[in-house]
């Protein structure tokens, strides 16, 4: 007697789940594969949508719409790209459309949207909150002043949203030979130089103040 061991859904790759979804003979048999697939990305999609929407309710609506569009088009997914790249492309386009509709103005798809985590003041003393907010403002200013638009986008997608460099390259449609990796390297170099200069200015300022007080 031949015993067939059923493979657990959560051990399968994204692409294998897509293949099972596409080859399932009925919708009832296909849907569990889609459910497992989408459950892996619910938090990341919701977090991304929140960055664009700015409020929880709208973000959840956007995320739901993203998964609905992904489900409707999943039969046509081709393995010439990773599923995560395909899903994040749908998500980004959906969120950009929302921003366009909300503002009533056209928005270039290459426009950088850089959002750093807001301060949660609960359980913090006032001085700590103020110091953290000041640090975040300084960081935003440094990034805006130092990096170009593409570098800002690549840094946010890779480090904040945890997209692989290959996915970042595809989502941003980068055509250079090294893709997103080249922008990571250049952004790090620029930020390191900017931080060194900032520290040098602060040291000179502190030295000047010390000299003045010693007189």
Quick: pLDDT tens for 6-54.
457 778 899 999 999 999 999 999 999 999 999 999 998 998 888 777 7
| pLDDT recorded at residue 21 | 94
Contacts of 85-89 with C-beta under 8 Å, sequence gap 24+, read 85/166, 85/167, 85/170, 85/171, 87/41, 87/45, 88/48, 88/161, 88/163, 88/167, 88/171, 89/170, 89/171
| pLDDT recorded at residue 110 | 43
| pLDDT recorded at residue 133 | 65
Structural domains of the chain in order of their starting residue, each with its CATH number = 9-109 (1.10.1740.10), 124-215 (1.10.10)
Of the given ranges (44-48, 95-99, 108-112), which has the lowest mean pLDDT? 108-112
For the stretch 158-169, pLDDT in tens is 877 667 788 788
| pLDDT recorded at residue 34 | 93
| pLDDT recorded at residue 130 | 61
Q: For residue 190, is pLDDT > 60?
A: yes
pTM for this predicted structure: 0.53
Q: Which two tokens stand for residue 187?
A: 């952004």
Of the given ranges (105-114, 125-134, 203-212), which has the lowest mean pLDDT? 105-114
| pLDDT recorded at residue 212 | 58
Q: For residue 105, is pLDDT > 70?
A: no
């Amino acid at each position: 007697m031949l015993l067939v061991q059923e493979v657990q859904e959560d051990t399968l790759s994204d692409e294998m789940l897509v293949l099972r979804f596409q080859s399932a003979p009925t919708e009832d048999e296909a849907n569990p594969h889609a459910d497992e697939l989408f459950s892996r990305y619910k938090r990341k999609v919701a977090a991304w949508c929140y960055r664009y929407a700015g409020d929880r309710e709208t973000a959840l609506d956007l995320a739901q719409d993203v998964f609905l569009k992904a489900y409707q088009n999943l039969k046509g997914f081709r393995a010439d790209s990773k599923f995560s790249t395909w899903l994040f492309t749908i998500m980004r386009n959906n969120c950009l459309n929302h921003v366009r509709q909300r503002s009533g103005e056209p928005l270039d798809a290459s426009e950088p949207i850089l959002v750093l985590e807001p301060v949660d003041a609960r359980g913090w003393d006032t001085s700590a909150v103020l110091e953290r907010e000041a640090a975040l403002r300084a960081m935003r200013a440094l990034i805006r002043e130092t990096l170009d638009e593409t570098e800002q986008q690549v840094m946010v997608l890779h480090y904040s949203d945890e997209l692989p460099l290959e996915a970042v390259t595809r989502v941003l449609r980068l055509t250079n030979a090294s893709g997103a990796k080249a922008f990571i390297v250049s952004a790090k170099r620029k930020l390191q130089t900017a931080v060194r200069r900032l520290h040098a200015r602060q040291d000179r300022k502190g030295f000047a103040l010390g000299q003045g007080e010693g007189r």
